[in-house]
A and B are shown apart, each in its own frame.
Chain A
Amino acid sequence: MFLSSVPEMMEWGLRGASRSRRDALRWRLASLAVFLALWSVAGGLVELTKPFNPLFLPAPWVVIGALLDLARKGQLWVHVAATLERVAVGFSAGAVLALALGLLAGQVRAVRNVVEPVVELLRPIPPLAMLPLFIVWVGIGEGSKVGFITYATFFPMFVTTVHGVAQIDGRLLRAAQSLGARPRHLFFRVILPAALPDVLTGLRLGVALSFFVIVISEFVGAENGLGYLINDGRNFFLVPQMLGAALLLGLLGYAGNGLVRVLERRVLRWQHPR
Protein backbone atom coordinates (compact mmCIF):
# COMPACT_ATOMS: atom_id res chain seq x y z
CA MET A 1 0.00 0.00 0.00
CA PHE A 2 1.51 3.34 -0.88
CA LEU A 3 -0.66 5.52 1.34
CA SER A 4 1.14 6.78 4.44
CA SER A 5 1.38 3.82 6.81
CA VAL A 6 0.08 4.01 10.36
CA PRO A 7 3.57 4.21 11.92
CA GLU A 8 4.46 7.08 9.56
CA MET A 9 1.24 8.88 10.43
CA MET A 10 1.90 8.42 14.13
CA GLU A 11 5.34 9.92 13.97
CA TRP A 12 4.85 12.82 11.55
CA GLY A 13 1.15 13.16 10.85
CA LEU A 14 0.28 13.26 7.17
CA ARG A 15 3.08 15.58 6.13
CA GLY A 16 5.70 12.84 6.31
CA ALA A 17 9.22 13.20 7.58
CA SER A 18 10.75 16.61 7.08
CA ARG A 19 13.02 16.61 4.08
CA SER A 20 16.37 18.26 3.63
CA ARG A 21 16.48 21.20 1.27
CA ARG A 22 18.52 19.34 -1.29
CA ASP A 23 16.15 16.38 -1.22
CA ALA A 24 13.17 18.68 -1.77
CA LEU A 25 14.90 20.36 -4.71
CA ARG A 26 15.65 16.99 -6.24
CA TRP A 27 11.98 15.97 -6.10
CA ARG A 28 10.95 19.27 -7.61
CA LEU A 29 13.32 18.98 -10.55
CA ALA A 30 12.38 15.33 -11.11
CA SER A 31 8.71 16.21 -11.13
CA LEU A 32 9.11 19.02 -13.66
CA ALA A 33 11.34 16.81 -15.80
CA VAL A 34 8.68 14.09 -15.85
CA PHE A 35 6.05 16.65 -16.77
CA LEU A 36 8.10 18.03 -19.67
CA ALA A 37 9.04 14.53 -20.78
CA LEU A 38 5.40 13.42 -20.88
CA TRP A 39 4.44 16.53 -22.80
CA SER A 40 7.31 16.00 -25.24
CA VAL A 41 6.47 12.34 -25.78
CA ALA A 42 2.79 13.16 -26.29
CA GLY A 43 3.64 15.99 -28.70
CA GLY A 44 6.16 13.84 -30.54
CA LEU A 45 3.76 10.91 -30.85
CA VAL A 46 1.02 13.13 -32.21
CA GLU A 47 3.52 14.54 -34.69
CA LEU A 48 4.47 11.05 -35.85
CA THR A 49 1.21 9.14 -35.86
CA LYS A 50 -1.13 12.05 -36.54
CA PRO A 51 -4.27 10.77 -34.77
CA PHE A 52 -5.49 14.38 -35.19
CA ASN A 53 -3.99 17.53 -36.58
CA PRO A 54 -0.62 17.93 -34.77
CA LEU A 55 -1.36 21.63 -34.56
CA PHE A 56 -3.73 20.88 -31.68
CA LEU A 57 -1.01 19.59 -29.37
CA PRO A 58 2.36 21.14 -30.15
CA ALA A 59 5.42 19.75 -28.39
CA PRO A 60 7.30 22.02 -25.95
CA TRP A 61 10.02 22.86 -28.46
CA VAL A 62 7.41 23.99 -30.99
CA VAL A 63 5.93 26.36 -28.40
CA ILE A 64 9.31 27.77 -27.49
CA GLY A 65 10.13 28.04 -31.17
CA ALA A 66 7.01 30.11 -31.74
CA LEU A 67 8.00 32.48 -28.91
CA LEU A 68 11.56 32.80 -30.24
CA ASP A 69 10.14 33.53 -33.67
CA LEU A 70 8.04 36.35 -32.28
CA ALA A 71 11.01 37.64 -30.34
CA ARG A 72 13.18 37.64 -33.45
CA LYS A 73 10.58 39.66 -35.31
CA GLY A 74 10.71 42.12 -32.44
CA GLN A 75 6.99 41.68 -31.68
CA LEU A 76 7.17 39.77 -28.43
CA TRP A 77 8.47 42.64 -26.37
CA VAL A 78 5.74 44.97 -27.65
CA HIS A 79 3.05 42.59 -26.40
CA VAL A 80 4.72 41.89 -23.09
CA ALA A 81 5.26 45.60 -22.48
CA ALA A 82 1.67 46.45 -23.35
CA THR A 83 0.29 43.91 -20.91
CA LEU A 84 2.75 44.85 -18.19
CA GLU A 85 1.97 48.54 -18.53
CA ARG A 86 -1.78 47.98 -18.24
CA VAL A 87 -1.35 45.74 -15.22
CA ALA A 88 1.10 48.11 -13.55
CA VAL A 89 -1.05 51.20 -13.98
CA GLY A 90 -4.38 49.51 -13.24
CA PHE A 91 -3.10 47.61 -10.25
CA SER A 92 -1.30 50.61 -8.74
CA ALA A 93 -4.41 52.75 -9.02
CA GLY A 94 -6.47 49.98 -7.44
CA ALA A 95 -3.94 49.53 -4.64
CA VAL A 96 -3.76 53.24 -3.83
CA LEU A 97 -7.53 53.55 -3.77
CA ALA A 98 -8.06 50.39 -1.75
CA LEU A 99 -5.37 51.17 0.80
CA ALA A 100 -6.41 54.76 1.28
CA LEU A 101 -10.07 53.95 1.63
CA GLY A 102 -9.39 50.76 3.57
CA LEU A 103 -7.14 52.40 6.16
CA LEU A 104 -9.64 55.20 6.54
CA ALA A 105 -12.61 52.87 6.85
CA GLY A 106 -10.69 50.71 9.29
CA GLN A 107 -10.26 53.65 11.63
CA VAL A 108 -13.28 55.85 11.14
CA ARG A 109 -16.45 54.06 12.09
CA ALA A 110 -18.66 56.40 10.03
CA VAL A 111 -16.71 55.81 6.83
CA ARG A 112 -16.72 52.11 7.44
CA ASN A 113 -20.46 52.03 7.98
CA VAL A 114 -21.03 53.71 4.64
CA VAL A 115 -18.42 52.04 2.47
CA GLU A 116 -18.40 48.48 3.70
CA PRO A 117 -22.04 47.56 3.01
CA VAL A 118 -21.75 49.05 -0.47
CA VAL A 119 -18.64 47.01 -1.15
CA GLU A 120 -20.36 43.92 0.21
CA LEU A 121 -23.23 44.61 -2.14
CA LEU A 122 -21.06 44.96 -5.25
CA ARG A 123 -18.55 42.25 -4.45
CA PRO A 124 -20.68 39.23 -5.38
CA ILE A 125 -20.96 40.53 -8.96
CA PRO A 126 -18.21 38.77 -10.91
CA PRO A 127 -16.03 41.66 -12.15
CA LEU A 128 -15.97 40.22 -15.65
CA ALA A 129 -19.67 40.99 -15.93
CA MET A 130 -18.79 44.68 -15.64
CA LEU A 131 -16.18 44.63 -18.39
CA PRO A 132 -18.59 45.42 -21.25
CA LEU A 133 -19.86 48.38 -19.25
CA PHE A 134 -16.34 49.77 -19.04
CA ILE A 135 -15.97 49.30 -22.78
CA VAL A 136 -19.26 51.05 -23.46
CA TRP A 137 -18.29 53.93 -21.18
CA VAL A 138 -14.63 54.48 -21.95
CA GLY A 139 -14.33 52.93 -25.38
CA ILE A 140 -12.16 50.04 -26.36
CA GLY A 141 -8.83 51.82 -25.74
CA GLU A 142 -6.40 51.77 -22.83
CA GLY A 143 -8.81 53.50 -20.47
CA SER A 144 -11.27 50.64 -20.25
CA LYS A 145 -8.55 48.03 -19.71
CA VAL A 146 -6.72 49.94 -17.02
CA GLY A 147 -9.94 51.09 -15.37
CA PHE A 148 -11.27 47.57 -15.36
CA ILE A 149 -8.19 46.21 -13.60
CA THR A 150 -8.48 48.97 -11.03
CA TYR A 151 -12.12 48.12 -10.47
CA ALA A 152 -11.54 44.38 -10.22
CA THR A 153 -8.53 44.55 -7.90
CA PHE A 154 -10.02 47.16 -5.61
CA PHE A 155 -12.38 44.78 -3.82
CA PRO A 156 -10.03 42.13 -2.42
CA MET A 157 -7.41 44.72 -1.48
CA PHE A 158 -9.97 46.90 0.27
CA VAL A 159 -11.46 44.01 2.20
CA THR A 160 -8.10 42.69 3.42
CA THR A 161 -6.94 46.17 4.41
CA VAL A 162 -10.07 46.83 6.47
CA HIS A 163 -9.67 43.44 8.07
CA GLY A 164 -6.03 44.18 8.81
CA VAL A 165 -6.94 47.33 10.70
CA ALA A 166 -9.99 45.85 12.39
CA GLN A 167 -8.15 42.83 13.78
CA ILE A 168 -5.59 44.95 15.64
CA ASP A 169 -5.66 44.15 19.33
CA GLY A 170 -7.11 47.13 21.18
CA ARG A 171 -4.68 46.53 24.02
CA LEU A 172 -1.84 47.32 21.63
CA LEU A 173 -3.29 50.77 20.99
CA ARG A 174 -3.88 51.37 24.67
CA ALA A 175 -0.37 50.26 25.48
CA ALA A 176 1.02 52.72 22.92
CA GLN A 177 -1.17 55.52 24.23
CA SER A 178 -0.05 54.90 27.77
CA LEU A 179 3.50 55.24 26.48
CA GLY A 180 2.58 58.68 25.18
CA ALA A 181 1.71 58.00 21.53
CA ARG A 182 -0.29 60.73 19.77
CA PRO A 183 -2.83 59.86 17.03
CA ARG A 184 -0.19 60.43 14.35
CA HIS A 185 2.22 58.13 16.12
CA LEU A 186 -0.51 55.57 16.62
CA PHE A 187 -1.18 55.46 12.91
CA PHE A 188 2.38 55.22 11.68
CA ARG A 189 3.90 53.20 14.48
CA VAL A 190 1.14 50.84 15.54
CA ILE A 191 -1.76 50.62 13.11
CA LEU A 192 0.23 50.52 9.90
CA PRO A 193 2.76 47.91 11.00
CA ALA A 194 0.09 45.78 12.65
CA ALA A 195 -2.13 45.84 9.56
CA LEU A 196 0.73 45.25 7.16
CA PRO A 197 0.55 41.44 6.98
CA ASP A 198 -3.06 41.59 5.81
CA VAL A 199 -2.37 44.50 3.49
CA LEU A 200 0.39 42.55 1.80
CA THR A 201 -1.82 39.50 1.46
CA GLY A 202 -4.30 41.78 -0.27
CA LEU A 203 -1.62 43.08 -2.61
CA ARG A 204 -0.72 39.53 -3.55
CA LEU A 205 -4.36 38.75 -4.32
CA GLY A 206 -4.53 41.95 -6.34
CA VAL A 207 -1.50 41.09 -8.47
CA ALA A 208 -2.90 37.65 -9.25
CA LEU A 209 -6.29 39.11 -10.08
CA SER A 210 -4.75 41.74 -12.38
CA PHE A 211 -3.23 39.07 -14.58
CA PHE A 212 -6.42 37.08 -14.29
CA VAL A 213 -8.60 39.81 -15.79
CA ILE A 214 -6.21 41.56 -18.15
CA VAL A 215 -6.36 38.54 -20.44
CA ILE A 216 -10.04 38.80 -21.06
CA SER A 217 -10.03 42.53 -21.68
CA GLU A 218 -7.28 41.99 -24.20
CA PHE A 219 -9.38 39.27 -25.84
CA VAL A 220 -12.35 41.51 -26.22
CA GLY A 221 -10.66 44.40 -27.91
CA ALA A 222 -6.97 45.16 -28.21
CA GLU A 223 -4.28 45.48 -30.83
CA ASN A 224 -1.50 44.24 -28.62
CA GLY A 225 -0.79 42.50 -25.35
CA LEU A 226 -0.40 38.84 -24.48
CA GLY A 227 -4.15 38.35 -24.36
CA TYR A 228 -4.38 39.74 -27.87
CA LEU A 229 -1.63 37.33 -28.93
CA ILE A 230 -3.67 34.41 -27.58
CA ASN A 231 -6.90 35.46 -29.24
CA ASP A 232 -5.09 36.25 -32.48
CA GLY A 233 -3.59 32.77 -32.30
CA ARG A 234 -7.07 31.36 -32.04
CA ASN A 235 -8.32 33.22 -35.11
CA PHE A 236 -5.40 31.97 -37.17
CA PHE A 237 -5.14 28.58 -35.52
CA LEU A 238 -1.65 29.22 -34.15
CA VAL A 239 -1.80 26.96 -31.12
CA PRO A 240 1.96 27.23 -30.33
CA GLN A 241 1.61 31.01 -30.14
CA MET A 242 -1.39 30.67 -27.82
CA LEU A 243 0.37 28.29 -25.47
CA GLY A 244 3.54 30.35 -25.53
CA ALA A 245 1.72 33.54 -24.61
CA ALA A 246 -0.15 31.73 -21.82
CA LEU A 247 3.12 30.42 -20.43
CA LEU A 248 4.59 33.91 -20.53
CA LEU A 249 1.58 35.25 -18.65
CA GLY A 250 2.16 32.60 -16.02
CA LEU A 251 5.79 33.63 -15.77
CA LEU A 252 4.85 37.29 -15.34
CA GLY A 253 2.25 36.44 -12.69
CA TYR A 254 4.79 34.27 -10.91
CA ALA A 255 7.33 37.09 -10.96
CA GLY A 256 4.74 39.59 -9.68
CA ASN A 257 3.85 37.26 -6.84
CA GLY A 258 7.56 36.82 -6.13
CA LEU A 259 8.03 40.59 -5.92
CA VAL A 260 5.34 40.95 -3.28
CA ARG A 261 6.84 37.96 -1.47
CA VAL A 262 10.24 39.66 -1.35
CA LEU A 263 8.59 42.82 -0.08
CA GLU A 264 6.78 40.76 2.52
CA ARG A 265 9.96 39.14 3.69
CA ARG A 266 11.66 42.50 4.08
CA VAL A 267 8.97 44.42 5.88
CA LEU A 268 7.61 41.50 7.87
CA ARG A 269 10.90 40.20 9.14
CA TRP A 270 9.50 40.25 12.68
CA GLN A 271 7.10 37.46 11.72
CA HIS A 272 9.85 35.01 10.86
CA PRO A 273 13.02 36.16 12.54
CA ARG A 274 16.10 34.06 12.02
Chain B
Amino acid sequence: MSRTRILALVGVLVVWAAVSYGNRMLGVMAPALLPTPGEVATVFAETVRDGSLPRHVATSLARVAVGFGLAAVAALALGLLAAMCVPVRLMVEPIIEFVRPIPPLAFLPMFLVWFGLGEGSKVAFIGYTTFFPMFVAIAAAVLRVDVTLLRAAASLGAGHLDLIRRVILPAALPGIIVALRLGFALALFVIVGAEFMGADAGLGHLIMEGRTFFVPAQIVMGALVLGLLGSIVNALLLATERRLFRWREAGATS
Protein backbone atom coordinates (compact mmCIF):
# COMPACT_ATOMS: atom_id res chain seq x y z
CA MET B 1 0.00 0.00 0.00
CA SER B 2 1.30 3.38 -0.96
CA ARG B 3 1.50 6.21 1.53
CA THR B 4 -1.37 8.13 -0.06
CA ARG B 5 -3.52 5.00 0.24
CA ILE B 6 -2.81 4.73 3.94
CA LEU B 7 -3.40 8.43 4.43
CA ALA B 8 -6.68 8.17 2.55
CA LEU B 9 -7.72 5.21 4.66
CA VAL B 10 -6.92 7.06 7.87
CA GLY B 11 -8.62 10.19 6.57
CA VAL B 12 -11.82 8.35 5.67
CA LEU B 13 -11.85 6.65 9.07
CA VAL B 14 -11.37 9.96 10.89
CA VAL B 15 -14.11 11.72 8.92
CA TRP B 16 -16.46 8.79 9.36
CA ALA B 17 -15.78 8.66 13.12
CA ALA B 18 -16.20 12.43 13.47
CA VAL B 19 -19.49 12.45 11.57
CA SER B 20 -20.99 9.41 13.27
CA TYR B 21 -19.94 10.28 16.83
CA GLY B 22 -20.84 13.91 16.22
CA ASN B 23 -24.26 12.85 15.04
CA ARG B 24 -24.60 10.79 18.19
CA MET B 25 -23.96 13.87 20.35
CA LEU B 26 -25.92 16.39 18.33
CA GLY B 27 -28.75 14.04 17.35
CA VAL B 28 -29.12 15.18 13.73
CA MET B 29 -30.50 11.81 12.67
CA ALA B 30 -31.38 8.64 14.50
CA PRO B 31 -28.10 7.26 15.86
CA ALA B 32 -28.84 3.76 14.56
CA LEU B 33 -28.90 5.05 10.98
CA LEU B 34 -25.29 6.16 11.04
CA PRO B 35 -23.22 3.38 12.55
CA THR B 36 -19.90 4.34 14.09
CA PRO B 37 -16.65 2.55 13.22
CA GLY B 38 -16.84 1.05 16.72
CA GLU B 39 -20.24 -0.49 16.07
CA VAL B 40 -19.17 -1.92 12.75
CA ALA B 41 -16.08 -3.40 14.39
CA THR B 42 -18.26 -4.94 17.11
CA VAL B 43 -20.58 -6.56 14.57
CA PHE B 44 -17.51 -7.84 12.76
CA ALA B 45 -16.02 -9.32 15.92
CA GLU B 46 -19.32 -10.93 16.93
CA THR B 47 -19.99 -12.51 13.57
CA VAL B 48 -16.44 -13.80 13.40
CA ARG B 49 -16.72 -15.24 16.91
CA ASP B 50 -19.96 -17.11 16.28
CA GLY B 51 -18.60 -18.32 12.97
CA SER B 52 -21.40 -16.83 10.87
CA LEU B 53 -19.22 -14.38 8.90
CA PRO B 54 -16.71 -17.01 7.76
CA ARG B 55 -19.65 -19.22 6.77
CA HIS B 56 -21.27 -16.45 4.72
CA VAL B 57 -17.98 -15.58 3.06
CA ALA B 58 -17.29 -19.21 2.22
CA THR B 59 -20.79 -19.65 0.79
CA SER B 60 -20.52 -16.58 -1.44
CA LEU B 61 -17.02 -17.44 -2.59
CA ALA B 62 -18.02 -21.02 -3.41
CA ARG B 63 -20.92 -19.80 -5.55
CA VAL B 64 -18.71 -17.27 -7.30
CA ALA B 65 -15.94 -19.82 -7.85
CA VAL B 66 -18.19 -22.45 -9.42
CA GLY B 67 -20.27 -20.07 -11.52
CA PHE B 68 -17.29 -18.02 -12.65
CA GLY B 69 -15.19 -21.12 -13.27
CA LEU B 70 -17.79 -22.72 -15.54
CA ALA B 71 -18.34 -19.47 -17.40
CA ALA B 72 -14.60 -18.93 -17.83
CA VAL B 73 -14.09 -22.36 -19.36
CA ALA B 74 -17.02 -21.86 -21.72
CA ALA B 75 -15.97 -18.31 -22.64
CA LEU B 76 -12.43 -19.46 -23.34
CA ALA B 77 -13.48 -22.34 -25.58
CA LEU B 78 -16.19 -20.44 -27.45
CA GLY B 79 -14.22 -17.19 -27.58
CA LEU B 80 -11.27 -18.92 -29.23
CA LEU B 81 -13.57 -20.75 -31.60
CA ALA B 82 -15.50 -17.63 -32.56
CA ALA B 83 -12.31 -15.69 -33.17
CA MET B 84 -10.68 -18.36 -35.27
CA CYS B 85 -13.69 -19.38 -37.29
CA VAL B 86 -15.27 -16.62 -39.33
CA PRO B 87 -18.71 -18.20 -39.95
CA VAL B 88 -19.19 -18.93 -36.25
CA ARG B 89 -18.29 -15.34 -35.44
CA LEU B 90 -20.67 -13.92 -38.00
CA MET B 91 -23.46 -16.12 -36.64
CA VAL B 92 -22.84 -15.48 -32.95
CA GLU B 93 -22.01 -11.77 -32.97
CA PRO B 94 -25.52 -10.42 -33.65
CA ILE B 95 -27.08 -12.72 -31.05
CA ILE B 96 -24.62 -11.50 -28.44
CA GLU B 97 -25.38 -7.92 -29.40
CA PHE B 98 -29.06 -8.71 -28.99
CA VAL B 99 -28.77 -10.28 -25.55
CA ARG B 100 -26.00 -8.12 -24.10
CA PRO B 101 -27.91 -4.86 -23.50
CA ILE B 102 -30.36 -6.71 -21.24
CA PRO B 103 -29.15 -6.03 -17.71
CA PRO B 104 -28.26 -9.49 -16.37
CA LEU B 105 -30.01 -8.81 -13.08
CA ALA B 106 -33.27 -8.61 -15.04
CA PHE B 107 -32.88 -12.34 -15.59
CA LEU B 108 -32.25 -13.14 -11.94
CA PRO B 109 -35.90 -13.90 -11.11
CA MET B 110 -36.03 -16.05 -14.21
CA PHE B 111 -33.18 -18.14 -12.87
CA LEU B 112 -35.03 -18.51 -9.58
CA VAL B 113 -38.05 -19.76 -11.50
CA TRP B 114 -35.99 -22.08 -13.68
CA PHE B 115 -33.50 -23.43 -11.17
CA GLY B 116 -35.32 -23.03 -7.87
CA LEU B 117 -34.15 -21.28 -4.74
CA GLY B 118 -31.14 -23.54 -4.11
CA GLU B 119 -27.50 -23.26 -5.14
CA GLY B 120 -28.28 -24.05 -8.76
CA SER B 121 -29.95 -20.74 -9.51
CA LYS B 122 -27.13 -18.66 -8.00
CA VAL B 123 -24.35 -20.57 -9.71
CA ALA B 124 -26.18 -20.53 -13.04
CA PHE B 125 -26.89 -16.83 -12.70
CA ILE B 126 -23.26 -15.97 -11.99
CA GLY B 127 -22.26 -18.14 -14.92
CA TYR B 128 -24.75 -16.45 -17.23
CA THR B 129 -23.75 -12.94 -16.13
CA THR B 130 -20.03 -13.37 -16.42
CA PHE B 131 -20.03 -15.45 -19.61
CA PHE B 132 -20.95 -12.73 -22.09
CA PRO B 133 -18.42 -10.03 -21.20
CA MET B 134 -15.65 -12.63 -20.90
CA PHE B 135 -16.59 -14.23 -24.19
CA VAL B 136 -16.62 -10.89 -25.98
CA ALA B 137 -13.31 -9.75 -24.46
CA ILE B 138 -11.55 -13.06 -25.14
CA ALA B 139 -12.70 -13.17 -28.77
CA ALA B 140 -11.58 -9.56 -29.19
CA ALA B 141 -8.17 -10.33 -27.67
CA VAL B 142 -7.65 -13.19 -30.10
CA LEU B 143 -8.82 -11.11 -33.04
CA ARG B 144 -6.30 -8.40 -32.17
CA VAL B 145 -3.38 -10.77 -32.83
CA ASP B 146 -1.31 -8.99 -35.43
CA VAL B 147 -1.25 -10.57 -38.86
CA THR B 148 2.49 -9.82 -39.18
CA LEU B 149 3.21 -12.06 -36.18
CA LEU B 150 1.37 -14.87 -37.94
CA ARG B 151 3.30 -14.18 -41.13
CA ALA B 152 6.63 -14.07 -39.32
CA ALA B 153 5.96 -17.43 -37.69
CA ALA B 154 4.71 -19.05 -40.89
CA SER B 155 7.81 -17.95 -42.79
CA LEU B 156 9.88 -19.65 -40.09
CA GLY B 157 8.04 -22.86 -40.84
CA ALA B 158 5.06 -22.77 -38.47
CA GLY B 159 2.05 -24.88 -39.44
CA HIS B 160 -1.58 -24.42 -38.44
CA LEU B 161 -1.22 -25.88 -34.95
CA ASP B 162 2.08 -24.07 -34.33
CA LEU B 163 0.39 -20.81 -35.23
CA ILE B 164 -2.36 -21.44 -32.68
CA ARG B 165 -0.12 -22.77 -29.94
CA ARG B 166 2.98 -20.62 -30.36
CA VAL B 167 1.59 -17.34 -31.68
CA ILE B 168 -2.14 -16.84 -31.21
CA LEU B 169 -2.33 -18.12 -27.63
CA PRO B 170 0.69 -16.28 -26.22
CA ALA B 171 -0.20 -13.09 -28.07
CA ALA B 172 -3.79 -13.15 -26.80
CA LEU B 173 -2.95 -14.26 -23.26
CA PRO B 174 -2.69 -10.79 -21.67
CA GLY B 175 -6.10 -9.87 -23.06
CA ILE B 176 -7.52 -13.18 -21.88
CA ILE B 177 -6.26 -12.62 -18.34
CA VAL B 178 -7.78 -9.14 -18.28
CA ALA B 179 -11.07 -10.65 -19.41
CA LEU B 180 -10.97 -13.14 -16.57
CA ARG B 181 -10.18 -10.40 -14.06
CA LEU B 182 -13.16 -8.35 -15.22
CA GLY B 183 -15.36 -11.44 -15.12
CA PHE B 184 -14.39 -12.13 -11.54
CA ALA B 185 -15.09 -8.54 -10.49
CA LEU B 186 -18.49 -8.81 -12.15
CA ALA B 187 -19.19 -12.07 -10.33
CA LEU B 188 -18.57 -10.37 -6.97
CA PHE B 189 -20.76 -7.50 -8.16
CA VAL B 190 -23.81 -9.60 -8.95
CA ILE B 191 -23.54 -12.32 -6.32
CA VAL B 192 -24.74 -9.72 -3.82
CA GLY B 193 -27.88 -9.14 -5.87
CA ALA B 194 -28.45 -12.86 -6.30
CA GLU B 195 -28.19 -13.36 -2.57
CA PHE B 196 -30.62 -10.55 -1.85
CA MET B 197 -33.33 -12.64 -3.43
CA GLY B 198 -34.12 -15.91 -1.78
CA ALA B 199 -30.90 -17.02 -0.15
CA ASP B 200 -30.34 -18.14 3.42
CA ALA B 201 -26.58 -17.65 3.44
CA GLY B 202 -23.91 -15.58 1.76
CA LEU B 203 -22.72 -12.01 2.16
CA GLY B 204 -25.67 -10.64 0.20
CA HIS B 205 -28.01 -12.40 2.58
CA LEU B 206 -26.08 -11.02 5.55
CA ILE B 207 -26.43 -7.50 4.16
CA MET B 208 -30.14 -7.92 3.44
CA GLU B 209 -30.59 -9.27 6.97
CA GLY B 210 -29.07 -6.02 8.19
CA ARG B 211 -31.82 -4.18 6.39
CA THR B 212 -34.65 -6.48 7.52
CA PHE B 213 -33.67 -6.31 11.19
CA PHE B 214 -32.57 -2.71 10.89
CA VAL B 215 -28.89 -3.10 11.78
CA PRO B 216 -27.10 -0.62 9.47
CA ALA B 217 -23.79 -1.56 11.09
CA GLN B 218 -24.21 -5.04 9.64
CA ILE B 219 -24.86 -3.64 6.15
CA VAL B 220 -21.73 -1.52 6.31
CA MET B 221 -19.69 -4.43 7.64
CA GLY B 222 -20.88 -6.72 4.83
CA ALA B 223 -20.12 -4.08 2.21
CA LEU B 224 -16.62 -3.54 3.59
CA VAL B 225 -15.87 -7.26 3.66
CA LEU B 226 -16.98 -7.54 0.04
CA GLY B 227 -14.79 -4.61 -0.94
CA LEU B 228 -11.86 -6.17 0.84
CA LEU B 229 -12.40 -9.54 -0.86
CA GLY B 230 -12.57 -7.87 -4.25
CA SER B 231 -9.41 -5.88 -3.61
CA ILE B 232 -7.48 -8.92 -2.43
CA VAL B 233 -8.46 -11.05 -5.40
CA ASN B 234 -7.76 -8.20 -7.78
CA ALA B 235 -4.34 -7.56 -6.28
CA LEU B 236 -3.49 -11.27 -6.51
CA LEU B 237 -4.51 -11.44 -10.14
CA LEU B 238 -2.61 -8.26 -10.97
CA ALA B 239 0.53 -9.61 -9.32
CA THR B 240 0.24 -12.85 -11.28
CA GLU B 241 -0.27 -10.89 -14.44
CA ARG B 242 2.81 -8.82 -13.81
CA ARG B 243 4.92 -11.92 -13.26
CA LEU B 244 3.49 -13.69 -16.27
CA PHE B 245 3.89 -10.75 -18.61
CA ARG B 246 7.27 -9.36 -17.70
CA TRP B 247 7.92 -9.06 -21.42
CA ARG B 248 5.47 -6.19 -21.69
CA GLU B 249 7.29 -3.92 -19.27
CA ALA B 250 9.93 -1.68 -20.74
CA GLY B 251 11.91 -1.48 -17.51
CA ALA B 252 11.94 -5.22 -16.87
CA THR B 253 15.29 -6.71 -15.96
CA SER B 254 16.11 -10.21 -17.00
In the assembled complex, B62 has its CB within 8 A of some CB on chain A: no
The prevalent SS among residues of A at the interface is helix
Q: Quick one: which of A10, A27, A130, A250 contacts B94, CB cutoff 8 A?
A: A27
Q: Can you list 26 A-B pairs, Cβ within 8 angstroms, ordered by A?
A: A3-B160, A4-B86, A6-B163, A9-B147, A9-B150, A13-B150, A14-B142, A27-B91, A27-B94, A28-B94, A31-B92, A120-B5, A124-B231, A125-B230, A130-B223, A133-B219, A136-B219, A212-B103, A212-B104, A227-B106, A230-B110, A234-B109, A242-B110, A246-B102, A250-B99, A250-B106
Q: Which of A13, A124, A135, A231 contacts B230 (CB 8 A)?
A: A124
Q: Is the CB of A242 within 8 A of B84?
A: no
Known contacts A13-B150, A246-B106; A31/B95 CB under 8 A? yes
A189 to chain B, nearest CB (A): 32
Query: Does A224 reach chain B (CB closer than 8 Å)?
Result: no
Q: Which of A70-78, A93-101, A160-168, A251-259 contacts B (4 or more CB under 8 A)?
A: A251-259
Count class of interface residues, chain B: 35 or more
Q: Given A6-B154, A242-B113, decide whether A14 and B145 contact each other with a Cβ distance below 8 A.
A: yes
Contact B192 A129 (CB under 8 A): yes
Interface centre among B95, B154, B203 (most CB of A within 10 A): B95
Provide the bound-state CA to CA distance between A247 and B110, in Å.
Answer: 12
B178 → A minimal CB distance (Å): 16
- CB proximity to B under 8 Å, residues A65-100: none
Given the interface pairs A31-B94, A126-B226, the reply to whether A220 lies near B103 with Cβ below 8 Å is no
A15 at the interface (CB under 8 A from B): yes
Interface code B203-230, partner A: CB below 8 Å = 1, 0 otherwise? Answer: 1100110110010100110111011101
Contact A129 B230 (CB under 8 A): no
A215 vs chain B, min Cβ distance (A): 4
